[in-house]
Chains A and B, each alone.
Chain A
Amino acid sequence: MLDTLLPVLLFTALALAALGAVRRVRLWRQGRSSSVPVLKGLLRVPRRYLVDLHHVVERDKYISHTHVATAGGFVLAALLAIVVHGFGLQSAMLGWVLLAATTSMFIGSLLVAKRRRPPPSRLSKGPWMRLPKSLMAFSIGMFVVTLPTAGILPEGVFQQGLGWIAALVLAAIIVWGLGEMFFGMTWGGPMKHAFAGALHLAWHRRPERFSDKTGGEHRSTGLKALRLDEPDAKLGVETPADFTWNQLLGFDACVQCGRCEAMCPAFAAGQPLNPKKLIQDMVVGMAGGSDARYYGSPYPGKPVGEHAGSPFGPIVAREGTSLVDAETLWSCTTCRACVEECPMMIEHVDAIVDMRRFLTLEHGNTPNKGAEVLDNLIATDNPGGFDPGSRLHWAADLNLPLMADKKEADVLLWLGDGVFDMRNQRTLRAFISVMRAAGVDFAVLGNEERDSGDVARRLGDEATFQTLARRNIKTLAQYRFSRIVTCDPHSFHVLKNEYGELGTSETPATYHVQHHSTYISELVSANKLSFKAWKGGSVTYHDPCYLGRYNGEYEAPRDVLKALGIEIKEMARSGYRSRCCGGGGGAPITDIPGKQRIPDMRMEDVRDTGADLVAVGCPQCTAMLEGVVEPRAEIKDIAELVADALVIDAPVGKADSTRAAPALALEETS
């Protein structure tokens, strides 16, 4: 009986799966167009899966081993089952391989089951609790039916007496297994992640994220420019169908592992955001319906089941509720911790900014101080609304060389809007004294500099971002410099990664941009600086999101601190897992309330190391962390630490040393 039943079952399941696949593809194709290399992408799936995706999965050794055993076993078992039981190729050898594959899968499914006992809060329950059992059903079922093929049980054992009953039970188990593994894969079961995930890897919107054999950095973090040249086009994403189809495909690939949720600072602070739920909501919207069948952690403070959406309905309602509330979108600090952590390589931040764009550009609904900041950026080129002619007032005594006078310099020092902030002015002063001590040929733009556009862009105001960026690009095009150095990781990121797309053939906007820590580290390696021995207390280092996760610079700041003789007491969450200070993405401007504040949590991380001082490299981080009430560790920018340790009369670079000296003397007394 099984001999006839098995192929029928297998091929029915496959046919249903194919039908489901067509349906699923049609759901994705509701999205906007986006061109991808279809075949090439498919051919790259194995490498992207085995190298890039595995690289992320491997951060959790347990699940990585589990997944290799389960998924590897399943893929092999499924293929062989089709050959052996579907087409009836009775080869004992294949039978043995099939037995091995199902065994591996079975062991994997035991590990999956163990992981969920009890399930950690970041994992989804509901159908996901069934998955380990379904995996076992498939592997056990396939194992047993293959025993005769491998010659372990006599042929025809399932055809007489008790065998019949065994066969019936077996058939039921196999139906269950096939149902989950084949049918569920394309009809929205937990296994959907495998089907959508593979295609998502093939047609990812940021192919640059994946490595190739040439090595090198594979990072793609700059937001993509919104085209503003068609006046009638809707700006940003209003409905799920306004995402590109491969974004929708990406959302559908989510395996609900909750790694993003575990890393999200806004979620931890009790703000109404959970990146995992957000991605699931996009899936709900794409298919149409309510979020009632979501079995993971909700947005803090927002019970599940009260929101619903449809592919062509608004995601955020102007009044009342629809799929997602606006404050969910405005809670995000764009720290990218979720993206960094996501094993399915889903791009949460892109999606959030896409939706923010619609709210700002079409609804004019940037919350709290948002509208005011954007108005200031439009009118005065800085978020604080300060007189744009007063950018250099803080440096009246520093005699900074202006690009307008010099026309060229080795280093263009990008000061950023921190010039209007008294705290940040101390950092800038420190960095300038370091550059002068090293005899660096530098110049600033002074009043010609404008806000980099970072905040405007994260607040969804792409128009203002592009205006600011284009004006900066035009200014920069007038001067010759070999690199731009800045103390602000946000300016660093946009100048380095987001201006390029807006350059033209006459004014290309590809610059060699460095963060001041990188530059100082180069100066140190070139022996341009000498330091006194470090006498302070213990130090920890806070990685700014826009330097670390956005740009992969984890080493230079640590090297500089090491050169100062500091031994860093690392926080539990540092490097690529650094926790955001809460200052990115315009979050302090939109200021969505939560249960606690993100900077407080970060200072708690600092406290756990017992460090007396936390070294930072970003004006936002400085402001956010210093805003935490005392007692707490002291906060100092790397530039300040370096400037404090400088030994000035050591041999410095020849070129500028004579000119630099008087200004330095001035600073020393100031």
Chain B
Amino acid sequence: MPHDANARANAGLNVAVLVSVGRHPLTAGTRRADQDARAVEMALTLENAAISLLHAGPADPERQQALRGYLGMGLDTLDLLEQSADADVISVLEEEVRHRAPQLILTGSRAEAGEASGALPFLLAEALGWPIVTSLAAVEKVENGTAVMLQALPRGKRRRLRVRLPALATVDASAPPARQSAFGPARRGKFEHQTRPSEVDEPLSGWQFQEARKRPKRLKIVKASSARDRFKAAAAKAEGGGGQTLADVTPEQGAEAIFKLLKEEGVLR
């Protein structure tokens, strides 16, 4: 990292990282969530940033233990906004963010447990009226209230974005992996514990949860005579077929096109 160049530019950058309790894909044990941990990693590599960790949710010992995984990455405290298990945390997060006024919020794009719809960052950005950047791959620099960010696109492509702060950005598996969580700092880290009134998520109470099952994948039968063909078949892009790129169109035209597609695909009837 070219620390020095960034040091002055980012002076006093105030970053909040929203972290959740993860769930191991094989054992279902609680842990630090992978994407959220990557968000913390991203924050830690921003030179001179003041980082605060924020979690809203129930605070039973097992979940606290999992949250300590983030503290083990080298942070001293984690702000724990205690909520009931059936709460919708958007409003309490919004309130907390307004109170702290960070310039940048980082978080994973999707939780590993619960609804895991990936909607939270969008709802929160909407509530705050902030821009949102998805699939953040790197923050290149922060200058005069603007951040230059790299956004990851499929197949390893990157897009450079200039974003006015404050902004919210989500990271996914294309961000650099999180550093190891060390036992000592994890154990010594402190929770700033606050109990906040929970706003019950009504629709959620009507939902029924069940284990997700891996859907069987359709076998791609490749008739190839040579190793080269087989390799090409294995490495080939998934052919989307159809599709079109719209550029320089009015919002109405764009909406029209999307609407048409959704109808064709039978999403809207």
Contacts and interface: CB of A to CB of B under 8 A. Distances in A.
B182 A364 contact: yes
A590 interface: no
A461 interface: yes
Interface string A358-396: 001111111000110011001110000111100000000
A232 B179 CA distance: 22
Interface string A338-366: 00000000000000000000001111111
A463 B183 contact: yes
Contacts of B31: 378-379
Interface string B165-192: 0000000000000011111110110000
A360 B185 CA distance: 11
Contact of B27 (A234, A235, A360, A380): A380
Contacts of A461: 183
A231 interface: yes
B26 A360 contact: no
B29 interface: yes
A361 B74 CA distance: 11
A380 B24 CA distance: 9
Interface in A204-249: 231-232, 234-235
B76 to A, nearest CB: 13
A380 B185 contact: no
A364 B72 contact: yes
A386 B24 CA distance: 12
Contacts of B147: none
B147 to A, nearest CB: 26
B29 A379 contact: yes
A620 B136 CA distance: 41
A361 B31 CA distance: 17
B26 A385 contact: yes
A374 B180 contact: yes
Contacts of A378: 31
A495 B187 CA distance: 27
Interface string B71-90: 01110000000000000000
A362 B182 CA distance: 6
A464 B69 CA distance: 14
Contacts of A365: 180, 182
A366 B29 CA distance: 23
A129 B187 CA distance: 51
Contacts of A374: 180
Contact of B182 (A361, A379, A386): A361
Nearest to B179: A364
Contact of A364 (B24, B73, B188): B73
B184 A235 contact: yes
B182 A360 contact: yes
B183 to A, nearest CB: 4
Given A364-B72, A364-B180, A366-B180, A387 B185 contact: no
Nearest to B22: A379
Contacts, number: 50
A375 to B, nearest CB: 8
Q: Which residue among B26, B72, B182, B187 has the maximum number of chain A CB atoms within 10 Å of its CB?
A: B182
A379 B27 contact: yes
A388 B73 contact: no
Contacts of B183: 235, 360-361, 461, 463-464
A115 B233 CA distance: 68
A362 B189 CA distance: 12
| Chain A contact surface mostly | helix
Contacts of B74: 364
A93 to B, nearest CB: 65
Interface in A226-278: 231-232, 234-235
| Chain B contact surface mostly | loop
Contacts of A361: 182-184
Nearest to B28: A379
A388 B27 contact: yes
Nearest to A366: B180
A468 to B, nearest CB: 14
B78 to A, nearest CB: 16
Interface in A445-478: 461, 463-464
Given A232-B188, A364-B74, A380 B26 contact: yes
A362 B180 CA distance: 10
A379 B184 contact: no
Contacts of A362: 182, 184-185
Interface string B1-30: 000000000000000000000001011010
B24 to A, nearest CB: 5
A603 B181 CA distance: 38
A356 to B, nearest CB: 12
Contact of B180 (A234, A371, A379, A387): A371
A404 to B, nearest CB: 19
Contact of A231 (B29, B73, B181, B188): B188
B187 A379 contact: no
A375 B34 CA distance: 11
Contacts of A360: 180, 182-183
Contacts of A379: 24, 26-27, 29, 31
Nearest to B31: A379
B122 to A, nearest CB: 30
B68 to A, nearest CB: 11
Nearest to A233: B184
Contacts of B27: 379-380, 387-388
A53 B194 CA distance: 62
A604 to B, nearest CB: 35
Interface string B27-44: 101010000000000000
Contacts of A386: 26
Contacts of A463: 183
Nearest to B72: A364
Contacts of B72: 364
A398 to B, nearest CB: 24
Contacts of A387: 26-27
Q: Which residue among B26, B27, B73, B180 has the maximum number of chain A CB atoms within 10 Å of its CB?
A: B180
A464 to B, nearest CB: 8
A361 B182 CA distance: 5
Q: Which residue among B24, B26, B73, B179 has the maximum number of chain A CB atoms within 10 Å of its CB?
A: B26
Nearest to B32: A375
Nearest to B30: A379
Contacts of A363: 182
A392 to B, nearest CB: 16
Contacts of B181: 364
B24 A231 contact: no
Contacts of B73: 364
A257 to B, nearest CB: 37
B185 A364 contact: yes
Q: Which residue among A363, A364, A370, A387 has the maximum number of chain B CB atoms within 10 Å of its CB?
A: A364
Q: Which residue among B29, B31, B184, B188 has the maximum number of chain A CB atoms within 10 Å of its CB?
A: B184
B233 to A, nearest CB: 27
B23 to A, nearest CB: 10
A392 B115 CA distance: 33
Q: Which residue among A234, A363, A370, A464 has the maximum number of chain B CB atoms within 10 Å of its CB?
A: A363
Contacts of B29: 379
Interface in A315-346: none
A461 B72 CA distance: 13
A235 B183 CA distance: 9
Given A232-B188, A363-B182, A380-B24, 4 more contacts: A360-B182, A387-B27, A388-B27, A464-B183
8 residue pairs, one from A and one from B, having the closest CB atoms: A364-B182, A371-B180, A364-B180, A362-B184, A463-B183, A361-B183, A379-B24, A235-B184
25 contacts: A231-B188, A235-B184, A361-B182, A362-B182, A363-B182, A364-B180, A364-B182, A364-B185, A366-B180, A370-B180, A371-B180, A374-B180, A375-B180, A378-B31, A379-B24, A379-B26, A379-B27, A379-B29, A379-B31, A387-B26, A388-B26, A388-B27, A461-B183, A463-B183, A464-B183
Interface of A: 231-232, 234-235, 360-366, 370-371, 374-375, 378-380, 385-388, 461, 463-464
